[in-house]
């Protein structure tokens, strides 16, 4: 069995704003092994990006309060490490690809120079060696004329090409973990397909663990082996992609999938989730989804644990774990 | 289908944008001899990737751009042509944009936002439709409440803002509503609510939709006919059933195959 690169246990954190404290994550569990692509899915405000940023402590220090749990990255206890040692991991052991490739690149620098600086920063290569690596990095992300692209500025490239450059940069130090936060959301579908297969291939070739954040269940289904579903900062369900998406057990996951128009009958209304997103300034006790849940019963006033239904599939729902429960 | 039922006829329209960069003239033929019709009561989908001309077509229909050649005929009248001065039927065609954050003026109240399109329609029409009871009726029709009318856009979620944008489009009692990626900025569960709303008000207000999107799932659910755009050309126009079951053109096939479909990918 491959080793764990990321091991997040019961992570809770909050943001302090204007005197009030907003609970952002509660008891989040997430594990990623080498070479594995794990999807993190949820709607806006579910805590997807915060979870990813927490792994490298990229959250604004002034307002972030870690209230419980631990993050272990490849043997390092992140929450107990000082800023300098976590900074050493960023870019080198943990690569990042964000949604908008234009803002991730420096508009005043050629592609070649940007990559050159990243490579020099994270390696002991000489200038000439680093120049050669720039060329190789671009080739690896299937940029066909690297000698031309090297001398171009970001604005001269298409969105897909820019995202390839960002991926080349993120992968240039051969990181153990690649965090891809909505990497294809700003791209066209045909380009999206290319970028996703590129990420898949790189992860396989380099044995890189990938955390793929997406709101698109199709992207998750196509790319990931496991998936974790977040709702309001809590993991409601996690497991093998096939299990979770084909046989969702949490009422939220079920509702999310049923609200997709893809297979809905045209003469019927789409299913929607009733009620409103909880106010996280006062995180309600008990099951976070209960106020919107059609299956709610007395027990839901207590917080459900994320328990396995089988070895590959866990769900945080009392209806699934009570005696005789299960839908 | 006979031309009699067509609410909108677009006849071989062309649009080229000319830009100059460092003295180099650059021509971008954004829309190339494009023709299509939209029938009364129909939901016509336009799909294509960025740069395919989707938004240029929307802008031409809304009189926000001028045609180089060809003409657009709406409800029997020429509303856009390269020659002459066709009269644009303000209020009869309305639009809902993709991003409700940037399409609603942050300094206006919801009431002012919804009433604003009436400024550009004729006085007769204003008398007919612009009463405050109408604003109230509309805000309720889109699933919001009377007390929301005095609030500002920033006090609403993305889904609620898109409801406001829809109410604003409906105030002039349009015949055709252009929906330019109306759910792309929304979460899945909110998208479902907005789609249901669009369906409901189509029946209630007797609307015809031009639905521009890159989301094939939404197009498949909502549209009666679909046109596929590629680099400014309409490569295929077909009924919903046929385009998804048996696309003819290579580009349509590629486009449909690129969409990661959760349900199909799961069946592997």
**pLDDT by residue (tens digit) across A89-131?**
999 999 999 988 888 999 999 999 999 999 999 999 999 999 9
> Which of A218-232, B26-40, B109-123, B134-148 is predicted with the least confidence, judged by mean pLDDT?
B109-123
Task: Tell me: ipTM over 0.90.
Answer: no
Q: What is the pLDDT of residue B142?
A: 92
Give me the mean pLDDT over the B69-95 stretch.
92
Give me the mean pLDDT over the B68-84 stretch.
93
Residue B267 has pLDDT above 50, yes or no: no
CA dihedral B155, B156, B162, B167 (to 10 degrees): -70
Long-range contacts of B16-21 (CB under 8 A, 24+ apart): B16/B68
Q: What is the pLDDT of residue A212?
A: 97
Of A220, A255, A264, the CB nearest to B221: A264
Q: Would an 8 Å CB–CB cutoff place A108 in contact with chain B?
A: no
B193-249, pLDDT tens digit by residue?
Answer: 999 999 999 998 999 999 999 889 999 999 999 999 999 999 999 999 999 999 999
Range 124-183 of A in CB contact (< 8 A) with B: 159
CA distance B34 to A86: 56
pLDDT band, residue B4 (cuts 50/70/90): low
Give me the mean pLDDT over the A209-226 stretch.
95
B135, B114 Cβ separation under 8 angstroms:
yes
Q: Would an 8 Å CB–CB cutoff place A268 in contact with chain B?
A: no
A167, A201 Cβ separation under 8 angstroms:
no
Handedness of CA A152, A189, B37, B92 (dihedral sign): negative
CATH architecture of A4-93+173-321: 3-Layer(aba) Sandwich (3.40)
CA distance B221 to B237: 17
A176, A5 Cβ separation under 8 angstroms:
yes
Residue B23 has pLDDT above 90, yes or no: no
pLDDT band, residue B154 (cuts 50/70/90): very high
Residue B5 has pLDDT above 70, yes or no: yes
Mutation target among A272, A274, A275, A289 for the B interface, most CBs of B within 10 A:
A272
B112-150, pLDDT tens digit by residue?
Answer: 999 998 887 766 666 666 566 788 989 999 999 999 999
Strand, helix or coil at A318? helix
CA distance A171 to A149: 18
Percent of chain B with pLDDT over 70: 92
A124-183, pLDDT tens digit by residue?
Answer: 999 999 999 999 999 999 998 999 999 999 999 999 999 999 999 999 999 999 999 999
pLDDT band, residue B26 (cuts 50/70/90): confident
Which burial class, exposed, middle or buried, applies to A59 when counting CB atoms under 10 A from its CB (0-12, 13-18, 19+)? middle
Of A43, A159, A190, the CB nearest to B188: A43
Query: Model-level pTM?
Result: 0.88
Q: What is the pLDDT of residue A56?
A: 93
pLDDT band, residue B100 (cuts 50/70/90): confident
């Amino acid at each position: 069995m491959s080793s764990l690169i990321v091991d997040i246990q019961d992570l809770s954190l909050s943001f302090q704003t204007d005197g009030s404290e907003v609970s952002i994550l509660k008891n989040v569990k997430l594990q990623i092994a080498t070479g594995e692509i794990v999807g993190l899915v949820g709607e806006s405000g579910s805590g997807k990006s915060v979870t990813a940023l927490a792994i490298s402590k990229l959250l604004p220090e002034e307002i972030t309060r870690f209230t419980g749990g631990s993050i272990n990255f490849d043997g390092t206890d992140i929450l107990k490490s000082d800023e300098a040692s976590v900074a050493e991991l960023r870019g080198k052991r943990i690569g990042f690809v964000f949604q908008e490739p234009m803002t991730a690149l420096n508009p005043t620098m050629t592609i070649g120079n940007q990559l050159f600086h990243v490579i020099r920063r994270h390696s002991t290569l000489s200038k000439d060696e680093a120049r050669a690596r720039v060329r190789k990095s671009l080739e690896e992300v299937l940029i066909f004329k690297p000698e031309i692209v090297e001398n171009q500025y970001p604005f001269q490239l298409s969105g897909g090409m820019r995202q390839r450059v960002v991926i080349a940069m993120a992968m240039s130090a051969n990181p153990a973990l690649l965090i891809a936060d909505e990497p294809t959301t700003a791209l066209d579908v045909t380009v999206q397909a290319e970028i996703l297969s590129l990420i898949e291939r790189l992860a396989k070739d380099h044995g890189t663990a990938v955390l793929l954040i997406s709101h698109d269940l199709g992207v998750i289904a196509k790319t990931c082996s496991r998936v974790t579903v977040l709702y309001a900062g809590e993991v409601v369900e996690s497991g093998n992609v096939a299990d979770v998406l084909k046989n969702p057990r949490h009422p939220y996951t079920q509702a999310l999938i049923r609200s997709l128009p893809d297979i809905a009958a045209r003469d019927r209304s789409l299913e929607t989730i009733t009620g409103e997103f909880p106010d996280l300034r006062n995180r309600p006790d008990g099951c976070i989804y209960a106020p919107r849940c059609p299956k709610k019963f007395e027990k839901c006033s207590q917080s459900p644990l994320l328990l396995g239904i089988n070895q590959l599939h866990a769900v945080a729902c009392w209806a699934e774990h009570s005696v005789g429960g299960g839908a | 289908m006979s031309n009699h039922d067509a609410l909108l006829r677009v006849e071989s329209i062309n649009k080229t944008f000319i830009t100059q960069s460092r003295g180099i003239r650059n021509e971008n033929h954004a829309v190339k001899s494009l023709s299509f019709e939209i029938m009364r009561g129909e939901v016509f989908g336009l799909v294509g990737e960025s740069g395919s001309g989707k938004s240029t077509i929307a802008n031409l229909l809304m009189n926000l751009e001028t045609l180089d050649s060809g003409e657009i005929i709406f409800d029997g009248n020429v509303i856009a042509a390269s020659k002459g001065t066709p009269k644009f039927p303000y209020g009869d065609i309305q639009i809902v944009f993709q991003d409700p954050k940037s399409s609603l003026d942050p300094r206006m109240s919801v009431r002012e936002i919804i009433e604003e399109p009436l400024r550009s329609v004729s006085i007769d029409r204003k008398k007919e439709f612009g009463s405050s009871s109408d604003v109230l009726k509309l805000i309720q029709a889109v699933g919001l409440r009377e007390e929301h009318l005095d609030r500002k856009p920033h006090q609403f979620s993305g889904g609620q803002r898109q409801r406001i944008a829809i109410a604003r489009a409906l105030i002039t009692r349009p015949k055709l509503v252009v929906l330019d990626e109306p759910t792309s900025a929304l979460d899945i569960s909110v998208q479902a609510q907005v789609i249901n709303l669009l369906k409901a008000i189509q029946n209630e207000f007797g609307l015809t939709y031009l639905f521009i999107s890159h989301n094939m799932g939404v197009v498949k659910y909502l549209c009666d006919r679909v046109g596929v755009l590629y680099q400014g050309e309409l490569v295929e126009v077909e009924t919903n059933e046929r385009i998804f079951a048996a696309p003819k053109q290579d580009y349509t096939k590629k486009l449909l195959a690129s969409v990661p479909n959760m349900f199909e990918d799961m069946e592997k």
